Amino acid sequence: MNIDAKRKAAAGTVVAPLASGKRDAMVRVSRETQGRGGKGVSVITGLPLTQPQLDELARQLKKRCGCGGTVRNGAIEIQGDHRDLLVAELIRLGWAAKRSGG
């Protein structure tokens, strides 16, 4: 089963994280290329925010990186490899963020 089929299958079951207001959740910033024709994106997971809050944070991060992106299944995807910049920006905003993966 390819990644797109998995996303379509999980689309109906994935629920956005609860808005607890806590900033002590561990936020992970990783890089993925699967299902994108070899093009990499930086993926931010572990944010306990509602969908409108995720959209607003994604807008701020896209503007900071100067690139596009989206919010998909409770994770923010930013086009390109901007992991270091995203981790620094999330830490500046008060999140406990760290790089994950290679």
CATH of the domain at 88: 3.30.780.10
| Residue 86 lies inside a defined structural domain of this protein | yes
pLDDT per residue as tens, the chain (102 positions): 566 655 655 554 433 334 455 556 789 999 999 888 888 999 999 999 999 999 999 999 999 999 999 999 999 999 999 999 999 999 999 999 999 886
CA angle in degrees (0–180, nearest 5) for 39-56-80: 15
Tell me whether residue 13 is in a domain.
no
pLDDT of residue 19: 44
Domain annotation covers residue 5: no
Cα three-residue angle 101-80-75, rounded to 5 degrees: 65
Q: What is the DSSP secondary structure assignment for residue 17, as one 8-state letter?
A: P
* 18 falls within a domain: no
Residue 14 lies in a domain: no
Q: Residue 37: its pLDDT value, please? A: 85
Residues spanned by the domain of 98: 31-102
Query: Domain tally for the chain?
Result: 1
Residues 6+ apart with CB under 8 A from 36: none
User: Token pair 């806590």 is at which residue?
Assistant: 22
Assess if residue 92 is contained within a domain. Answer: yes
Query: Within a domain: residue 42?
Result: yes
